[in-house]
Amino acid sequence: MKIGDCVVRISHNKDIIFRIYDIRNDIAILAGIYVRLIADAKLEDLEVIDDEILLRAEDEEYSYYNNIVSSIKRDSREVNGKVLHLDSDVGYLRKCLQFYKDNNIYAYGVCYKEEEMADNINDLVLKIRPDVIVITGHDSYNRKGLDDLDNYSHTSDYIKTIKKVREQFSLDDIFIYAGACGSNFEALIASGANFASSVNRDNIDAYDPAIVAYIAATTRITNLISLDKFKKLSKSANKVVGGIDSYGKMRVVI
């Protein structure tokens, strides 16, 4: 078993496909391929999946993606909001940028480690002048206490990044989505995110942050963003994403 292998955890009924991105002694550090989750596991608890299983999973994702894109209606009179997408996972970032492109959303994507995001966000905001910011990557909750931020892998990093933006821009100036699998939803909202994950500390899909950003960018500035739209487009559980009343960033040419 080596770095780069696609594996499942035997003790978790092989429910999530991961890629090994580091091995420390007999412990593998894992990143979800289709969900934004980081985890660790003993090597003996892992099973390398064969190409057939991986191909089937890729086909399912491709079908899901096409269903999203085909269900979205476009109007040439609309000026959609501009998206700045920060992501710690370059693979997820590429997927989300393709999603924005296929849905006529201008998006600027940058790959930073979670702990690097706060130091770079202000320069990016001044350069891009976004209407919508996505702050995401990987996260996890160790189930040792909901309120202690030390029990989350990267929620604190997301909070620092949100606060940097909110020092200059209000909730209505820039829409912020923040979080990943298992993130502390309440802490992210309290720090200034408009929408965040994960309400029930559940896993989110790789495309979920981009779906939220798409909805924010294509909802008219006079209308509140609808969580029902997210539920229709996402294949994640209904309560992974939540937020506060927030207006969209799309304008109509008159």
- pLDDT tens for 15-47 read 889 999 899 889 998 988 888 888 889 999 999
Q: What is the pLDDT of residues 136-178, one digit of tens each?
A: 999 999 989 998 999 999 999 999 999 999 999 999 999 999 9
Strands (DSSP E) contained in the chain are: 6-9, 18-24, 27-32, 38-42, 46-48, 78-79, 83-87, 107-111, 132-136, 175-178, 195-197, 241-243, 251-252
Identify residue 143 by its one-letter amino acid code.
R
Give the whole-number percent of the chain exceeding pLDDT 70: 98
pLDDT band for position 73 (cuts 50, 70, 90): low
Least confident of 65-79, 165-179, 230-244: 65-79
Give the whole-number percent of the chain exceeding pLDDT 90: 69
- The tally of CA atoms less than 13 A away on the side-chain side of residue 194 is 28
Mean per-residue pLDDT over the chain, rounded: 92
- The alpha carbon torsion through 179, 115, 27, 56 (nearest 10 deg) reads 40
- Between CA 168 and CA 174 the distance in angstroms is 10
- Token pair recorded at residue 56: 């089937």
Tell me the backbone φ, ψ of residue 85, rounded to 5 degrees: -115, 115
- The tally of CA atoms less than 13 A away on the side-chain side of residue 197 is 35
- Token pair recorded at residue 33: 């391929």
- Between CA 180 and CA 206 the distance in angstroms is 9
In sequence order, what are the beta bridge partners of 29?
Answer: 22, 40
DSSP 107-147: EEEEE--GGGHHHHHHHHHHHH--SEEEEES-B-B-SS-SS
State how beta strands 46-48 and 78-79 pair. Answer: unpaired
Tell me the backbone φ, ψ of residue 158, rounded to 5 degrees: -65, -40
The answer to whether 182 touches 140, Cβ cutoff 8 Å, is: yes
Contacts of 73 (CB under 8 A, 6+ apart): none
- Higher-confidence residue of 252 and 135: namely 135
Taking the CB of residue 59, how many other CB atoms lie within 10 A of it?
A: 10
Tell me the backbone φ, ψ of residue 30, rounded to 5 degrees: -120, 145
The answer to whether 117 touches 158, Cβ cutoff 8 Å, is: yes
- Token pair recorded at residue 129: 């002048």
Least confident of 67-81, 98-112, 181-195: 67-81
